[in-house]
Amino acid sequence: MKGHSSPSFWALFLRGRRLPPYLAPLVAFLALLPFLFLPATPSEALPRPHLGYGANIAALGDVTILNDMGFGWFVHYLDWASAEPNKGGYDWANLDNIIEAAESSGLKAILRVALTPDWAWSGGGDTTGPPDNMDDFGDFMEALATYAQGKVAGYVIWNEPNLPYEWGWNDPSPAQYVEMLQAVYPRIKAADPDAVVITAGMATTGGGGGAACGVGTGIALQKVSPFTQNLYAAGVMPDLDFICGIYLSGGQGYFDVLGSHPYGFAAAFDELPSTGLAFRRVEQQRAVMEAMGDSAKQVWAIEFGWVLYPGESCHYTHDWESRWWQIVSETEQATNLAGAYEYAYQTWSWMGVMNFFNLDFATVPWYDYCQPMRWYSVVYRDTPGVDPLKYWEAYYALRDIPKYTSGSLSGYVRDNRGIPFSGARVEILSDGDTNSGGGGRYEFPLLPSGTYDLQATASGYGALEPMRDVVMNEGEALTDVNFYLPPPDNVVSNWDFESDLAQWPIGGANTPTISASAHTGYKSAQLGGAAAGDSWVQQTVEIPADMYRPTLSFLYRYPSQDTGEVAQVTVAGIIESISVSSEWTHHWIDLDELQGETVTIRFTVSENGSNPSYLYLDEVSLGKASGGPYKGYFPFIYKGS
């Protein structure tokens, strides 16, 4: 008995047969076919908006301008150094102002958190680099997320760590950045499970990268301008390589969303020049995510924009001499910013909140006239703090673009072994249907807000209760709303727990019950409780001798587990552990070796009597795997006489 694997028909076919040597590679490939499309246990992604309209702001009072523009999000910066000037001593004054701005305007706040206080590193003085002890940052982020629970939508962890300047003038290190994510992610999620943890957006470098993750951009690492020459001379790591390094260093499970800074430079919003210096560079960043099997997550553009002309007097100040080639006209800035939102909505189903850079940096007195950040603004003053607000063309273009409020819903249809099923019908009851395509994926791309019942059906499979009460909020993208088709010859009684537990003998210190928490239908079985001891349900079934590849399949949710607690499934005396999962997760077990036998399936939760844990079960089926024995023939063709 094996969980999540089984011998294929071709492996069985080969037993006892001798074939010509030149056919061995072909048959070996065919033996692997059933496994080529086996997914890992799916990660049930958090709801994400598609598309979110946001901006980077300097003056918190300007959230009213975003209201007038019809935008719903803003990015603001929170310095760790200022918020925790000494270990454990917190100053939340700036945070309170940010929260007040969000609550008064009805906007959602994203905090970009960076800047290590002098006490947290050995160099003295605040730094853009990482702390000596990452746990110090973890402590701070836990305190921050606890204080701001439910009031801050997301946290961006640091800023452009592929630049030496943003990493304390050290060599950029994806592995070290992953240590930072590992220190903060569990602490943030424990304090505020709904908060979105976002990676830092990488500085867009252009050129190639990502090869170590199997991504080939076809772009040579070109030094196409003084700007990029300066970047490379300063030891910058290409953005694609840094993102790839996050995955290769084990960072995939420590963020909810990949942050991006897809600045447009001199390219139009819909162009992707050979340099890679363009808004559409984010497509190549996305390719790294997909190559590493992380397509369920979204990308959020934390910064993107196009810069205006500051005048000749600024040419030799700041770093304008290397930026001069990026300058666009007012009309081009307006066209590109407005076009970027429309392009993303129509083209990138994986893009979430997009925050243009910037709304108002040209209105505040702490940036001098030639500071480049002022010239990305769409709102300005000739004299910050003195002259009244004025508006570039881009303000009006962004105000007038349609703000799409419909969301999207997508997921996969798989069989009882987790194999994607193409051609299943997925229906929103009373509101239309679609079919699962290649890889078993289905999608409703434009769905108004509301509460929906979904049903998946396919010829040759058993009936599956609808998935009830799926809530679509305005502008959300619900991903990984997955279905698992039951086998037609299921031998388990009351397998979806829609009535009661009458056909499941139960027992233990915590009596199992029926719960309203369900993957599909209305109910599930709930095991666990406050008392120390076991909680179990079981059923004895006969597996027909002629059942093809018998498979036990079930959906479960096991949100928490204290030390000393155990959740497991036992079949014919063989035990397999059930891991913790806060979302509904599919699990299947190969029972090939038990054909023709009578077996007892038993689910058990052993409690330690401290904090109660609960295991929820749904759709417990036992039946044949899809396909059935090979019915046709394969024309083996021999060469020669």
pLDDT digits 0-9 by tens, 277-302? 999 999 999 999 999 999 889 999 99
For residue 342, the tally of other CB atoms under 10 A from its CB is 15
In the prediction, which pLDDT does 373 show?
96
Instruction: Report all structural domains of the chain as residue ranges with CATH numbers, in order of start.
Output: 2-36+495-624 (2.60.120.260), 52-400 (3.20.20.80), 407-484 (2.60.40.1120)
What is the C-alpha separation between 257 and 246, in angstroms, rounded?
13
pLDDT digits 0-9 by tens, 42-81? 233 334 557 899 999 999 999 999 999 999 999 999 999 9
Distances (CA, A) of 546 to 418, 461, 485, 623, 628: 22, 18, 21, 11, 10
Sheet holding 566-571, edge to edge: 506-508, 533-542, 598-607, 566-571, 574-577
Picking from 367, 410, 355, the residue whose alpha carbon sits closest to that of residue 201 is: 355
Q: Provide the token pair at 318.
A: 């700041």
Query: Which range has the top average pLDDT, 41-55, 94-108, 206-220, 448-462?
Result: 94-108
What is the C-alpha separation between 361 and 399, in angstroms, rounded?
18
| Mean local confidence (pLDDT), 334-362 | 94
Residue 32 has pLDDT above 80, yes or no: no
In the chain, the percentage of residues whose pLDDT exceeds 90 is 70
pLDDT digits 0-9 by tens, 559-602? 888 888 999 999 998 999 999 998 899 999 999 999 999 999 99
Residue 162 has pLDDT above 50, yes or no: yes
Report CA 182 to chain centroid distance, whole Å.
Answer: 16
Mean pLDDT of the chain: 87
In the prediction, which pLDDT does 455 show?
93
Picking from 183, 198, 243, 204, the residue whose alpha carbon sits closest to that of residue 73 is: 198
In the prediction, which pLDDT does 223 show?
44
For residue 630, the tally of other CB atoms under 10 A from its CB is 12
In the prediction, which pLDDT does 433 show?
65
- Residue 501, phi then psi, degrees to nearest 5: -110, 20
Residue pair 4/588 in contact (Cβ under 8 Å)? The answer is yes
pLDDT digits 0-9 by tens, 316-329? 999 898 889 999 99
| Mean local confidence (pLDDT), 193-207 | 93
3 state DSSP class of 177:
helix
Residue 430 has pLDDT above 90, yes or no: no
In the prediction, which pLDDT does 501 show?
94
Q: pTM higher than 0.95, yes or no?
A: no
In the prediction, which pLDDT does 345 show?
87
| Mean local confidence (pLDDT), 348-376 | 95
Report CA 171 to chain centroid distance, whole Å.
Answer: 28
3 state DSSP class of 241:
helix
Residue 26 has pLDDT above 50, yes or no: no
Residue pair 431/455 in contact (Cβ under 8 Å)? The answer is no
